[in-house]
Amino acid sequence: MTGKPYVREVPRFGWFFRQPRYMRYMAREVTCIFIGAYAVVLLVALKRLSEGRQAYEAFLQALTSPASVIFHLVVLAFALYHTTSWFNVTPKAMPIQAGEDFLPGWVIVGAHYAAWLLVSVALLVLAGAF
């Protein structure tokens, strides 16, 4: 081979600021921090529950603090971004063949959104939130 091969420079950090699509990719990736943080909240709830009524009721009380409300709202925003970005790629992650053709993407995505709505409402109703 003659000449120097072209190597496109990619900075180690901050490369995702270059393009909106890279930013959307990174937004999707950082949702994991909030999914993980909420799993820790569930773990703490479980710990308090195992410690008895008093410990658990103190935890419930802590849920009403302003810091907890802000935390929940931020987690909710990222959780919703995780859900929509996860469902929107399902036709690519698991294409379904029907005869000669593939099932249109919107059918697969739509089925996920419908199931999500059903699961969410069922969960809130069964938990006695209404």
Partner 1 sequence: MAKSNKPVIWGLFAAGGTVTAFVTPALVLLTLLPAAGVMPELLAYDNLRAFAGHWLGKAAVFAVIFLSLWHAAHRLRVTLHDFGVRADLLVAIVVYLAAAAGSLAAAYYLLRL
Q: From CA 99, how far away is CA 87, in angstroms rounded?
A: 24
What DSSP state is assigned to residue 127?
T
Tell me which residues in 87-126 interact with partner 1 (CB under 8 A). Answer: 87, 93, 115-116, 119-120, 123-124, 126
User: Helical H runs in the chain?
Assistant: 20-51, 53-62, 66-88, 90-93, 105-126
Q: From CA 57, how far away is CA 42, in angstroms rounded?
A: 15
Q: From CA 57, how far away is CA 26, in angstroms rounded?
A: 38
Sketch the per residue contact string, 5 through 44, with partner 1: x for CB under 8 A, - otherwise: -------xx--x---------x--xxxxx-xx-xxxxxx-
Rounded least distance, CB 128 to partner 1, Å:
3
- 58 part of the interface to partner 1, by CB under 8 A: no
Contact 81, 27 (CB under 8 A): yes
Between 4 and 12, name the residue whose CB sits nearer to partner 1. Answer: 12
- 72 part of the interface to partner 1, by CB under 8 A: yes
What SS3 class is residue 103? Answer: coil
Interface ranges with partner 1 (CB under 8 A): 12-13, 16, 26, 29-33, 35-36, 38-43, 45-47, 49-50, 53, 56-57, 60, 63-65, 68-69, 72-73, 75-76, 79-80, 82-83, 86-87, 93, 115-116, 119-120, 123-124, 126-129
